Amino acid sequence: MQTRRIGDVQVSAIGLGGMPMSIEGRPDEQRSVSTIHAALEAGVTLIDTADAYHLGADEVGHNESLIARAVASYGGDTSDVLIATKGGHVRPGDGSWTLDGSPEHLKRACDASLERLGVEAIGLYQFHRPDPRVPYADSVGAIRDLLDAGKIRFAGVSNADPDQIRLANEILGGRLVSVQNQFSPSFRSSEPELELCAELDIAFLPWSPLGGISQAGELGSRFAAFTDVAKAHGVSPQRVCLAWMLAKAPVVIPIPGSSRPETIRDSVGAVDVKLSAEELARLDAA
């Protein structure tokens, strides 16, 4: 497995997104555990989750607890696995997603995530999404306080624009290590954030890199260029998509969501796909 850097640690160039294992349409727990174990077996050392990845209001942190159990039950060495989680998004249990970026909520959420993950310090803690009711500086200030208190090892932000990335890095005293934004063939408006992260040497973690749970399987039919390049390499369009992202900048670490062992195994194979300059240009134009 090739590696890339978050903060001062090396992680797998392809991560695993845990959301599909805990929200609507989720599989039974055994399949999810098998998926996480397959990822670890394939060399994945970055697993992304959030306290909001759950269904009912009575199971906040479902995905965090699931991942903690799966990692603990894996037979191999997991000492180099970085589990990244997030706070600031809330699911009240009626299917909606709401926001709470208040410092008080973020600090309580972090404490709860620490307990669910069973760690002394969270590997990477990310402010999930800006809350328009709370000054961005106040929310990121809470993340800074958690970092200073040693409750989190690294700090990141998610769903941030360039100005927010710069502000977050300033508030964190230059310690912002990652930005997690949506980016895929069908959603490219985060190109400016990707370019800024490359300039600042901050990891850029594309979420829903294959287009999201409902559309990932249709990526090839929606974007013919990815299918054509995939045929030339004898791989899936999804694998080509992740390889295309990896080629954009050394700071890019896609985190495709998965709930089946075979899909994360396919995703991991993206590190071995070498795309030509002509192919990359064609995919950029798709």
Which residues are annotated as catalytic? 53
Is residue 37 within 8 Å of 258, Cβ to Cβ? no
> Is residue 25 within 8 Å of 283, Cβ to Cβ?
no
CB 155 within 8 A of CB 176: yes
Of 118, 112, 117, give the one whose Cα is nearest residue 146.
Answer: 112
Rounded to an integer, what distance in angstroms lies between the CA atom of residue 285 and that of residue 51? 36
Total residues found in the chain within this entry: 286
Q: Which long-range contacts (CB under 8 A, 24 or more apart) does 138-141 make?
A: 138/101, 138/102, 138/103, 139/88, 139/101, 139/102, 139/103, 139/106, 140/167, 140/168, 140/171, 140/172, 141/103, 141/171
